[in-house]
Every structure is written in C-alpha cells, then in structure tokens.
Structure 1
C-alpha cells in the first residue's frame, strides 16, 4: 500500500519485458516541461526523493521516480546478471520511451549515481544534464576487480564484501528493522560499518544506533516494502563481473559527453565519499560543478533536504535557462 502522499503512482511493463513501479508527477499548467528522472540507491526506494518531488514540480518540472529493479513494487529477478548496469540503463531508456520523453535531466544518489553516470555512457543522447549525489563518477575499469579487490584497495568499501555474499540476504531478511536503523543511523553515530566484517558484526550482534535520520513511520515504509525479499537490492553488489564484461565488450569511453552539464553534491561527513574520489572524477567531466555540504553524511536528500532541493533548482536554472520548459 502506497503512503497517502497524493502523488501519482503507476506500473508499466516496459519494452525490456520488466515491470516497473514509478511516480510520475507533472506540473498542473505545463505539459512540455523538462523531465527530471530520479534514480535511488541502496537500500532506498522512490521514497528517498520524497522531499524533492513536490518542490521541483512546483517549479514547473515533471518528476519521474521509479522503484529500481528489485525494489518496492518493481520486478525482482533472482539472478544477479539481471541487475547489470547496462540492463538497468536499458530499462530506464525504455521507461522514458514509455512516457514519451526524448531527453531528461538524470539525477541519482548512491547506486543511483553510478547508474546515472553509466546511463550517460550507454545512452548519451537521452540526457539534458546529469546530477549525481554522494557517489562520484568513476569511469569503466580497464581490468576486472572483485568486490574483495575493491575493499582491499579502498577499505571504506569493506561493507560491500558482506552485501555481495549470499549469506547477507538471509541475515538481513531476518532483521529488516534493525538493518534499516543501522543504514539510516545518524552520521555522528560512533558505530562504524564501512570496513570488512563491521556491518555483519553489528547486524548479527543486535547493535542499536544512537538515532536515525528517518522517523518511525518512514522506517516502517522501508521495512514493509522490503519484506518480499532482499535478493534484488543486494544483487547490485553481485554484478561486478557482468558490468566489467559489458563495458569492456562495448568499449565504453571514460569521459562523459563533453557538452553535458554535471553537478555533484556530497556530504563532507560521508566516509564512503573521500575527497580523492571527488578529485579523480574531475578528470573525466568537462562541465562539472562540485558542491560539498559541510557536516552532512551520506543521505543528503534527507539530512539536507532543502539545500539539495534548492541547489539542484539553481543549477538547473543556470544550465537550462529558458529551455527548461521546452524539452519533451
């Protein structure tokens, strides 16, 4: 059951054969407004953009927010290969086709940022502009790296080793409320979950965080939408081989389209987004604007909801100008 949010919810079987649930909210008096396609990350839902949808629509934008594959009321295949980034990007292109949208501003957070960045490589002609939050752009890898390899090189990604394991599915499904309380803990909480073994230890040990950035009603919505299983959301962490092979075989470029405006917003207290990663991303983007949010953690759309909303609106105004109301 959807929350009583007054938003327009839909489900559609796309040309890719997969059924997606999505919110499609249009401004009342503008049928030719620019579309903002918002992509959530792990373990989020369309609901992660709840603070941004109405304000953006009020400014004349059409806002489309799907539950990504494996989440909410969208299809949840059981095989990890179904969640490869190319297939996700093809789904998003098919969703735009279904909606009659030729080009969109694509906005992503966390895994949604990674997917949005790859969408700009797989379907570059479909983007007007790109905004990515909390996870900086990274180019296709020149060599295959396992999750373990990544965690050894970047210890703050150690939690991905656990999520990539089959055991994590059973563990998390049995402890959904605690899992989401840990994920949405305050960034000031002393609990560390990023290094190898830490998330599993705290989850199985029943460690309670000091507080959450979501209230009980919001937490309940996440739990209720995850009760059919976590194999879908966790499968994103099990796609490294498929992603590498797809990108290698297609010879995807490292650089984004040279004329593509790109905005990157991140919280300075987000341990999974070190400054060096942000600096590295600048090598591959010609038109990049970086906005650090001091004292904010990973969940920028919630922790700094108004700032994120207004920052993206201001950026859109600067890069789109009068054309903001003329794109289909």
Structure 2
C-alpha cells in the first residue's frame, strides 16, 4: 500500500443489493479474522474519491483493522446515475448498508469527511445498529430540519456556504468540466505556512476564482478520476429538497444514538467548519469528543495526515479497539 501508487491497493468491483455497482478498496490486515478484526469504512466528500484516505489506509490496516473505502455514487468507477434524485442521503445510506452486507459485516466503525461526514451522520440515523463508532471530519453533524430551507436562504444565513449556490446550479457541470484543472487548483488548495488559503466559499467567489485560475494542478490521479464526469459529484448539491422530504417522511430523530461514541476532527482554518455549527452539533450527540487541528484547512487527511491517522487510532484504542469481541 503505497500512497503514491493507487494501483498498489486492493481494488474491488461489486454489484450491491441496491442494484448499483461500486468500486471500493478493501484492505485486509494480516491473519484477518472476520469475527475478531473490526472494519473501518471511510466515506469521502466532494470532489474526492477513495484516494483521499490513502495516508490512513495502510497505518490502520497495520494496526489490525480491515479498511474499506468506496468511491461513492457518481465518482470514479462507481455507477453514475444522471438524476439528482438518485443521490439523496437515504439512497446513499442504503448503498453503505449494502456495501457492509457485501463485505460480510454486520457492524463497522464508520468515518466520513466533508459530504462523507454528513452521509455517515445520516447513516447513523437510518442504520443506528450497524455503527460501532462514528468519526466525522471537517463538517459537523447537522440534525434533520423540520423546515425546508432553499439553498438561497442557506447562503444568506451562512455566507460561508455561498459556494453551494454555484455547485447546485445545472450550469456548473459544464463550466467545471471545461476548466477541470483550474477547478482542482481552487478546490484542493491547502493552507500555506501562515494557515491561509484563498476563500472560495462566499457567493460568486468560486466563479471568479475559476475565471482567474492560472496554476495548473499536478494531481494526475484526481484529474483521471474527476474527468470521468462532474455531474454525479455535483448532484450531491442538488438534493436538498429530496433529502428534506425523505427525512421528514421517515421521521428521522435529531439525536444520534445515546451510547454511540462520536469523534469530530476539524482544521481551525477550515471556513466550512464554524465554531457555531460545532457548538450546535454537540447538543445532539451524547458521547462527543471534539479535536481541533491548529492552522490546517479542509483537506486534513492530507494536510495533517499523521495527526488524523493518530487521533482516530488513539480514540478507537480508548474504546477498546481493535481486536475486541461484542459490543462496546
């Protein structure tokens, strides 16, 4: 497992019981015992893929965990339905459950970043008994809302989420695909030595940065993945009404399971992880541990790869993992 060589990981392609075919990495520890070794399932965000977890997979496997990392719907070599409705959280969570089934897992440790963080939070609501422990990175838990807020209203109330208006528009697909390398320069930028990165979060900022981008990304693997199409990844931003209607119809609770251990990791220079949202999320999580990583931005799995790997491993060690039987 060489983080510089994507092909060095164990790749699988499976059709799930939901009818969708997923590509995922499935890395087993030595002397793996399904009844003994816990599995960590990692869910990436936008616009990422399984490769976003490349620095964590090997160390966690060597510690005795089985690590499963899919390309989520719309990404890489996983199915890419064109309709935004297919990307609702209920549907995506059903895919995670089906992935666990395919891997022969009743339960797992679930970890998510960015959109993946939101997804794993919803998975813990839809499938509470399939989660041993939950780690959320960069995007704090937000409970289901009793009232639907259109993206325009969300951006007005939280200007740091203004970029979602652009991503949620249908025209963003063609604009980004036509300037994919420039988009990658903007979206994957990391904080500099002073903890500073260009702000694309406010309304209209992403459009301006794309028009003025002149640095060309060298991230060839990401370019290969994202050049398979941006409609699927962007559809995640076009599901807010579908998600709200489903959650309201299903009567999802606001609180996560009271006995569920939850870790939240975030970079202090990440404009999408505001202290106010983090404080709000704590009201709905009984067993929350919050760790801030100083002067790091949104892409903490790469920017702070060793800290993220170690923090999650130490947190799990405190819970008695790996290599324990039964429930917490």
1:163 aligns with 2:167: yes
Q: Structure 1 residue 143: deviation in Å? A: 0.4
What is the rounded CA distance, in whole Å, between the counterparts of 2:254 and 2:324 in structure 1? 28
Q: Which residue in 2 is equivalent to 1:204?
A: 211
2:201 corresponds to which of 191, 194, 197: 194
Distance 1:63 1:324, change over 3 A: farther
Instruction: Report if the CA contact (8 A) 1:182-1:208 is conserved.
Output: no
What is the rounded CA distance, in whole Å, between the counterparts of 1:241 and 1:160 in structure 2? 14
What is the rounded CA distance, in whole Å, between the counterparts of 1:21 and 1:138 in structure 2? 28
Q: Which residue in 1 is equivalent to 2:289?
A: 289
2:53 corresponds to which of 39, 49, 56: 49
Distance 1:4 1:110, change over 3 A: closer
1:78 aligns with 2:89: no
What is the rounded CA distance, in whole Å, between the counterparts of 1:245 and 1:137 in structure 2? 19
1:174 aligns with 2:178: yes
Unaligned runs of 5+ in 1: none
1:153 aligns with 2:157: yes
Output the TM-score relative to the length of structure 2.
0.94
What pairs up with 1:82-231 in 2 under 5 angstroms? 82-188=86-192, 189=196, 191-208=198-215, 216=218, 219-231=219-231
Deviations 1:126-159 (A, max 9, x none): 0000000000000001100111111100000000
Unaligned runs of 5+ in 2: none
What is the rounded CA distance, in whole Å, between the counterparts of 1:248 and 1:66 in structure 2? 28
What is the rounded CA distance, in whole Å, between the counterparts of 1:259 and 1:323 in structure 2? 20
Deviations 1:82-121 (A, max 9, x none): 0000000000000100111000000000000000000000
What is the rounded CA distance, in whole Å, between the counterparts of 1:204 and 1:37 in structure 2? 37
Q: Which residue in 1 is equivalent to 2:250?
A: 250
Q: Secondary structure at the match of 2:320?
A: helix
1:29 aligns with 2:36: no
Q: Structure 1 residue 181: deviation in Å? A: 1.2
Output the TM-score relative to the length of structure 1.
0.94
Q: Structure 1 residue 320: deviation in Å? A: 2.9
Deviations 1:61-102 (A, max 9, x none): 000000000000000000000000000000000010011100
What is the rounded CA distance, in whole Å, between the counterparts of 1:55 and 1:322 in structure 2? 13
1:273 aligns with 2:273: yes
What is the rounded CA distance, in whole Å, between the counterparts of 2:228 and 2:55 in structure 1? 26
Q: Structure 1 residue 6: deviation in Å? A: 2.0
Instruction: Report if the CA contact (8 A) 2:112-2:119 is conserved.
Output: yes
Q: Secondary structure at the match of 1:292?
A: strand
Deviations 1:233-281 (A, max 9, x none): 0000000000000000000000000000000000000011111111111
What pairs up with 1:310-321 in 2 under 5 angstroms? 310-321=310-321
Instruction: Report if the CA contact (8 A) 1:108-1:114 is conserved.
Output: yes
